[in-house]
Amino acid sequence: MEELRAKYLDAIAQAADEAALEDVRIAAVGKKGEVALKMRELGKMSPEERQVSGPALNALKDEINSALAARKAALVDAALEERLSSEWLDVTLPARRRGQGSIHPVSQVTEEVTAIFADMGFAVAEGPRIDSDWYNFDALNIPGHHPARAEMDTFYMHRADGDNRPPHVLRTHTSPVQIRTMEKTGAPVRIICPGGVYRADYDQTHTPMFHQVEGLAVDKDISMANLKWTLEEFVKAFFNVDNVELRFRASHFPFTEPSAEVDLRCSWKDGQLRVGEGDDWMEILGSGMVHPKVLAAGGIDPAQWQGFAFGMGIDRIAMLKYGIPDLRSFFESDLRWLRHYGFAALDQPTLHGGLAR
């Protein structure tokens, strides 16, 4: 017994880490360890012998167990000590300068648009950026063969080999959120949906990811007049001008009937955009009365309800309002650019505080 004691206390003292210590524990006091085997031998002893050996073996087991516990605590302490000395932080160093970043124009303009439409009773809805081709196309009255699918330079998601279901897409516009929202809330509904969209295109005014805001108002008596008033109110507040003039130009979108592209009267004197004056017209969005098939796809009865919808490029109106010449610069993460065009974190757009700079 004395041999066992010396052997295991020594092994415990030598164990270099918790794993080695565990091995020693199993060999000594584990179910099939040496001490357990010795205890089994008690049965073969005479009662006198057993009276001496039994308590001695129990005492040995206790002694080994407490040595194990003590060594384990020491190893944990040593590991912590080691970490503390290798991972240290000089808290006396001066703090890093704060306020280096700023709010990106896309975020700022999204907030501005949201504030204006919220004031007119529009809630904000969201949908996924990866969507099924049903939500992105079919439900919006763009069937499989429709040229709009090709025109949109769609990014398709890869399906596993042998999976013949139609692929998901990176949404090419925010219009699928119209369908998702109608499904969820039914009519009446009044929402905007700002968010990122994707098309394979890249030049001064196109990037593969950009941002749109969708608008949708469905009720019993919504007309083009409501659309026109809503958009005029928006443009007045957004560009901070009272005398806006909008031109509704007949157009075509599969998801609206009739459809109109909306232009804004403006001038570009000295390369400076002035809204509401001059003889130029600038296209700012697409819109129309929601197509009956689109209402039906959203689970709304087109015999009872009607509505208007519009879709506008957030980055585009940000470029116009803040005089930013190249869309690609929005997504280059250049801090110097952001310092120039960014907004202070406390510069929260509110209608009462004023939206323009």
Which of 288, 298, 307, 349 touches ligand DAH by CB under 6 A? 288
Binding test (CB under 6 A) with ligand DAH, winner from 286, 298, 307, 349: 286
- The distance of closest approach from Cβ of residue 236 to ligand DAH in the complex, given in angstroms and rounded to an integer, is 21
Residue 275 and residue 264: Cα distance in Å, rounded?
Answer: 7
| Least distance (Å) between residue 285 CB and ligand DAH | 7
Query: If binding is defined by CB under 6 A, does position 253 make contact with ligand DAH?
Result: yes
Q: What is the CA radius of gyration of the chain?
A: 36
Which range, of 107-115, 157-165, 249-257, 266-274, touches ligand DAH by CB under 6 A? 249-257
Instruction: Give the shortest CB-267-to-ligand DAH separation in angstroms.
Output: 26
Between CA 240 and CA 248, with CA 243 as vertex, the angle to 5 degrees is 105
Among 287, 314, 321, 341, binds ligand DAH (CB under 6 A): 287
Kind plus residue range of the DSSP H or E element containing 31: none
State the minimum distance, in angstroms, from the CB of residue 347 to ligand DAH: 29
Answer yes or no whether residue 141 interacts with ligand DAH by CB under 6 A.
Answer: no
User: Considering the rule CB under 6 A, would residue 175 count as an interface residue with ligand DAH?
Assistant: yes
**Residue 175 vs 181, nearer CB to ligand DAH:** 175
Closest approach of ligand DAH to the CB of residue 160, in Å: 29
Stretch touching ligand DAH by CB under 6 A, among 105-113, 157-165, 231-239, 281-289: 281-289
CB 154 within 8 A of CB 197: no
Phi/psi of residue 281, nearest 5 degrees: -125, 135
How many other C-beta atoms can be found within 10 angstroms of the C-beta atom of residue 241? Answer: 16
Distance of alpha carbon 337 from alpha carbon 330, whole angstroms? 8
Q: How far apart are CA 301 and CA 64, in angstroms?
A: 80
What are the residues whose beta carbons fall under 8 Å from the beta carbon of 220, sequence distance 6 or more?
A: 188, 304, 305, 306
Alpha carbon of residue 284 to chain centroid: 27
Window contacting ligand DAH (CB under 6 A); options: 13-21, 36-44, 103-111, 280-288: 280-288
Peptide linkage before 194 cis (omega within 30 of 0): no
Q: Candidates 104, 168, 173, 321: give the one binding ligand DAH (CB under 6 A).
A: 173
Q: Residues 53-82: x/- map of binding to ligand DAH (CB under 6 A)?
A: ------------------------------
Q: Nearest-CA neighbor of 349 among 215, 195, 232, 237? A: 237
Cβ pair 240, 356 in contact under 8 A? yes
Choose between 257 and 280: whose C-beta lies nearer to ligand DAH: 257
CA atoms 47, 48, 50, 54: torsion sign: positive
Let me know how many helices (H) and strands (E) the chain has, helices first: 12, 10
Q: Which secondary structure element, helix H or strand E, spans residue 313, and what is its range?
A: strand 306-313
Q: Which residue is nearest to ligand DAH, using beta carbons?
A: 311
Q: Rank residues 194 and 286 by Cβ distance to ligand DAH and give the closer one.
A: 286
* Nearer Cβ to ligand DAH (12/309): 309
Q: Which amino acid is at 22?
A: E
CB of 289 to ligand DAH, least distance (A): 8
Nearer to ligand DAH, 57 or 125 (CB): 125
| 28 is a site residue for ligand DAH (CB under 6 A) | no
Give 102 or 287: the residue with its C-beta nearer to ligand DAH.
287
From CA 297, how far away is CA 75, in angstroms rounded? Answer: 66
- Identify which of residues 24 and 133 has a Cβ nearer to ligand DAH in the complex: 133
**Can you say whether the dihedral through the CA atoms of 86, 91, 96, 102 is positive or negative?**
positive
Per CB under 6 A, 256 contacts ligand DAH: yes
Element at 168 (helix H, strand E):
none
| Between 30 and 302, CB nearer to ligand DAH | 302
Residues in the site for ligand DAH, rule: CB under 6 A? 173, 175, 214, 253, 255-256, 286-288, 309-311
